Amino acid sequence: MEITEVRIKLVADLDDRLRAFCSITLDGEFVVRDLKIIEGQRGHFVAMPSRKLMEKCTRCSAKNEVKARFCGNCGARLPESRPVKADGAKPRMFADIAHPINANCRERIESAVLAAFEEERLLAQQPGYVCRYDDFDEPSRAVQMHSEREH
């Protein structure tokens, strides 16, 4: 697997720990969107795309966020029978949609993403900077280069 493109969308609100959104293209053929670059206590790290976990209302079967106290559909009070882990840790609120299977893959993705992030931060300081994160209708330079190599 080759990471053929990384696109970064910087976040302007620096009061939050979220620094950027990211998409990666694998082998010029498969895109994974909504990776997040977060500033942690030991530097930046890459969070994989995730979704909020949901629970069904016992009364109307509508889906609600795990931490919701009332059903957003019928207003019924939701049971507070959320599982608590033995070590006292909070229950999971999110589940990864896509993630690397091993540490080597995670390292390759994180290295490529963080390098592109630093490059994008430098580009953003230049006059006339335009973010190209959302330009998925046009084939990128990396995808064009990849397809030229094949022919």
Same domain assignment for residues 62 and 135? no
* Together in a domain, 42 and 82: no
| In a shared domain, residues 78 and 91 | yes
Domain count, the chain: 2
pLDDT digits (tens, 9 = 90+) for 41-57: 999 999 999 998 888 99
For residues 28 and 38, membership in a common domain is answered with yes
CB 3 within 8 A of CB 13: no
d(CA 20, CA 13) in angstroms, rounded, equals 10
Q: Is the same domain home to 106 and 45?
A: yes
Residues 115 and 143 in one domain: yes
So what's the pLDDT on residue 101?
A: 94
CATH number at residue 17: 3.30.1120.40
Q: Which domain holds residue 62?
A: 51-95
The Cα-based distances of 117 to 18, 63, 96, 151 in angstroms read: 12, 36, 21, 31
Same domain, 146 and 106: yes
The per-residue pLDDT of the chain, averaged, comes to 85
Residue 137 CB neighbours (<10 A): 5
User: What's the rounded mean pLDDT across residues 67-81?
Assistant: 88
140 and 103 in a single domain? The answer is: yes
pLDDT bracket for residue 79 (50, 70, 90): confident
Arithmetic mean of pLDDT, 1-10: 94
